[in-house]
C-alpha cells in the first residue's frame, strides 16, 4: 500500500525553532499551513506519521463522519490519566462509550434547569469579589468563578470551603505539571529523578481521597441536593442496572473539574477583555437583558440574548479555549487527497480553522454580528469551539449557560474600561489569556 501524506516539514526546522515553538506554536503552524496547503507532516519517525491540519473537510471526516476509525492519542488518554484518571475526556473505546451513555443524560437541558439556582448564586457571589477602579487581570477572577461553578454544581453546598480550596489547589498544581511535562518531554527524566512526578502523584491520590470523602458523606446523609453528584450517584448502566464504581465515579468527577473549569475561565476572560475593548456591545447586552430577571434566567430565556450569545460565539471563534485536538487512525484511511496508515496521528487546529479567511471575512476582527440570525448558519461547518461528532463536549450547554449568565450579571453591575496594555495568548493544553487587564467600575454603589 502506498501512503500519501501532506508535505513534510523537516525535523531540523522544529529543533531550530524548539524554544519559540514550546512557548507558542501557533505562528509556526500558520507558516507551514500557508506553505503546505493546509496540512503538513511534522515528524517522520519510522513507526508513525504525525500531521497537522486546518482543513475543515478533514476535521469533519475525522471527528464526525469517520469517527469510528479514530481514537484519541496517548497524550490525551494514557498521559493525562496518570494524574486525573480515566474519565470521559481521557478514555477511548468501550469504556468511553459506556461512560458517555451513562453520563450524557445528566447534561441534558432539562437536567441543567435544576442547576440554575446553584450556578446563578455562585456567579453572583464571585462577581461581588471583583476589585473595582483599578486595572486588574481578569483571568484569576474567572478562574475562581469557573472552578466554584463546577464545584458547587457537583457537590452543591455540601462540601466545606477548606476541602474545596485544597481540591482547587491540587487540580491547578496537576494541570500546571501536566503542561510542564508535555512541553518539555526531554526533561521528564529530570522531573522523575527529582521526585516531582512522585509528589504530583501523591497530590493526585489526595484529591481522590477528598472526593471519596465527599461521596461517602453524601451517601450517609441520605439527603437529596439535585446536583451533579446526585445525578452521577443515581445513574445506572443499561446492561445490568449497576451503578458506577467509586473509582470510576472519582475519575469522572476529577475529569469534570479539569475539562469544565479552565476552558470556561479562558473564554470568560477573553470575552470580558473583548467587551472592554468593544463597548458598543455592552449597551446592547444590557438592553436585551433588561426584561430578564437574572435569577430566572432559565435555559429557555437564553434565546432572548442574541447579542450576548453572539459575543460568546465570536469570542470562542477568535480564541477557542480548546484550540487543538488530535486523533489516531485505528485503520488505514483516505482523507481527501491523503492516504494514511493505521497509527498515524492527526492534529486538528481549531484555532486556524476559525481564522481562515476563506471561511470568515476579516477573520482577525471581533465581529459578533456574524453570529446573529441567518449569518450564523453559514459558518457552522467551520466552527468547532466544542469539537464535533460523538466526542463533542458534553458540557457545552452548561458552559454556554454559565458564560451568558456571568456576562449578563457582570455587565448589569459594572462598566468595563480597556487598558493600554496588550493581552497575549498562551497555547498550553488550553488557550490561555495572559495579561487580560480590565478596569471594573461599579454601576451602583
Binding residues (CB under 6 A) for ligand HEM: these are: 88-89, 100, 150, 255-256, 259-260, 263-264, 267, 321-322, 325, 385-387, 391, 393-395, 398-399
C-alpha cell, 231: 445525578
Q: How near is the Cβ of 257 to ligand HEM at its closest, in Å? A: 8
Closest CB to ligand HEM among residues 308, 399: 399
Distance of alpha carbon 440 from alpha carbon 434, whole angstroms: 18
Closest CB to ligand HEM among residues 181, 313: 313
Closest CB to ligand HEM among residues 9, 260: 260
Neighbour-count burial for 364-375, b at 16+ CB within 10 Å, e otherwise: eebbbebbeeee
**In this structure, how many other beta carbons lie within 10 angstroms of the beta carbon of residue 129?**
9
Cα angle value 399/89/150 (rounded, 5°): 35
Closest CB to ligand HEM among residues 137, 326: 326
**Best CA proximity match to 255, nearest among 144, 139, 141, 393:** 393
Q: How near is the Cβ of 390 to ligand HEM at its closest, in Å? A: 7
Strands across the sheet containing 437-442 = 135-137, 437-442, 414-418
Distance of alpha carbon 437 from alpha carbon 417, whole angstroms: 9
Q: How buried is residue 36: exposed, middle or buried, by Cβ count under 10 Å (0-12/13-18/19+)?
A: middle
Q: How near is the Cβ of 338 to ligand HEM at its closest, in Å? A: 20
Q: How near is the Cβ of 314 to ligand HEM at its closest, in Å? A: 13
According to DSSP, the residues that pair with 327 across neighbouring strands are: 346
Q: How near is the Cβ of 337 to ligand HEM at its closest, in Å? A: 24
Q: How near is the Cβ of 394 to ligand HEM at its closest, in Å? A: 5
Closest CB to ligand HEM among residues 81, 263: 263
Closest CB to ligand HEM among residues 9, 351: 351
Residue with CB nearest ligand HEM?
Answer: 395
Closest CB to ligand HEM among residues 197, 228: 228
**In this structure, how many other beta carbons lie within 10 angstroms of the beta carbon of residue 201?**
14
Distance of alpha carbon 117 from alpha carbon 140, whole angstroms: 23
Q: How near is the Cβ of 351 to ligand HEM at its closest, in Å? A: 11
Check if the beta carbon of residue 437 is closer than 8 Å to that of residue 135. Answer: yes
Query: Radius of gyration (Cα) for the chain, nearest Å?
Result: 22
Amino acid at each position: 500500500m502506498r501512503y500519501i501524506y501532506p508535505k513534510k516539514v523537516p525535523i531540523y526546522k522544529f529543533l531550530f525553532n524548539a524554544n519559540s515553538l514550546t512557548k507558542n506554536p501557533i505562528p509556526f503552524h500558520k507558516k507551514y499551513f500557508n506553505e503546505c496547503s493546509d496540512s503538513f507532516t511534522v515528524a517522520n519517525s519510522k513507526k508513525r506519521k504525525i500531521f497537522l491540519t486546518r482543513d475543515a473537510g478533514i476535521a469533519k471526516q475525522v471527528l464526525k463522519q469517520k469517527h469510528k476509525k479514530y481514537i484519541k492519542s496517548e497524550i490525551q488518554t494514557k498521559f493525562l490519566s496518570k494524574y486525573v484518571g480515566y474519565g470521559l475526556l481521557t478514555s477511548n473505546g468501550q469504556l468511553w462509550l459506556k461512560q458517555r451513555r451513562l453520563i450524557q443524560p445528566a447534561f441534558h437541558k432539562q437536567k441543567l434547569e435544576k442547576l440554575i439556582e446553584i450556578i446563578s448564586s455562585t456567579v453572583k457571589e464571585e462577581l461581588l469579589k471583583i476589585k473595582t477602579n483599578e486595572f486588574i487581570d481578569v483571568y484569576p477572577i474567572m478562574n475562581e468563578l469557573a472552578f466554584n461553578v463546577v464545584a458547587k454544581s457537583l457537590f452543591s453546598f455540601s462540601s466545606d470551603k477548606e476541602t474545596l480550596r485544597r481540591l482547587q489547589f491540587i487540580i491547578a498544581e496537576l494541570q500546571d505539571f501536566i503542561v510542564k511535562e508535555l512541553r518539555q518531554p526531554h526533561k521528564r527524566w529530570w522531573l522523575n529523578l527529582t521526585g516531582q512526578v512522585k509528589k504530583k502523584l501523591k497530590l493526585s491520590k489526595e484529591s481522590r481521597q477528598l472526593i471519596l470523602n465527599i461521596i461517602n458523606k453524601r451517601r450517609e446523609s441520605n439527603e437529596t441536593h439535585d446536583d451533579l453528584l446526585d445525578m452521577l450517584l443515581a445513574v445506572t448502566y443499561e446492561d445490568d442496572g449497576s451503578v458506577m464504581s467509586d473509582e470510576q465515579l472519582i475519575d469522572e468527577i476529577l475529569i469534570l473539574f479539569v475539562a469544565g473549569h479552565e476552558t470556561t475561565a479562558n473564554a470568560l476572560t477573553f470575552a470580558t477583555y473583548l467587551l472592554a475593548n468593544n463597548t458598543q456591545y455592552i449597551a446592547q447586552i444590557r438592553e436585551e437583558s433588561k426584561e430578564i430577571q437574572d435569577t430566572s434566567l432559565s435555559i429557555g430565556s437564553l434565546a432572548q440574548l442574541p447579542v450576548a450569545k453572539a459575543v460568546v460565539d465570536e469570542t470562542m471563534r477568535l480564541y477557542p479555549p480548546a484550540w487543538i485536538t488530535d486523533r489516531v487512525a485505528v485503520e488505514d484511511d483516505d482523507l481527501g487527497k491523503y492516504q494514511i496508515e493505521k497509527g498515524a496521528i492527526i492534529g486538528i487546529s481549531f484555532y486556524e480553522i476559525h481564522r481562515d479567511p476563506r471561511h470568515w471575512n476579516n477573520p482577525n476582527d471581533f465581529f459578533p454580528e456574524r453570529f446573529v440570525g441567518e449569518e450564523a448558519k453559514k459558518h457552522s461547518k467551520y466552527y468547532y469551539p466544542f469539537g464535533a461528532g460523538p466526542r463533542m463536549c458534553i458540557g457545552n450547554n452548561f458552559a454556554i449557560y454559565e458564560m451568558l449568565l456571568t456576562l449578563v450579571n457582570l455587565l448589569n453591575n459594572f462598566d468595563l474600561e480597556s487598558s493600554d496594555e496588550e493581552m497575549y495568548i498562551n497555547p498550553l493544553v488550553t488557550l490561555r489569556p495572559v495579561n487580560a487587564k480590565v478596569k471594573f467600575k461599579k454601576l451602583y454603589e
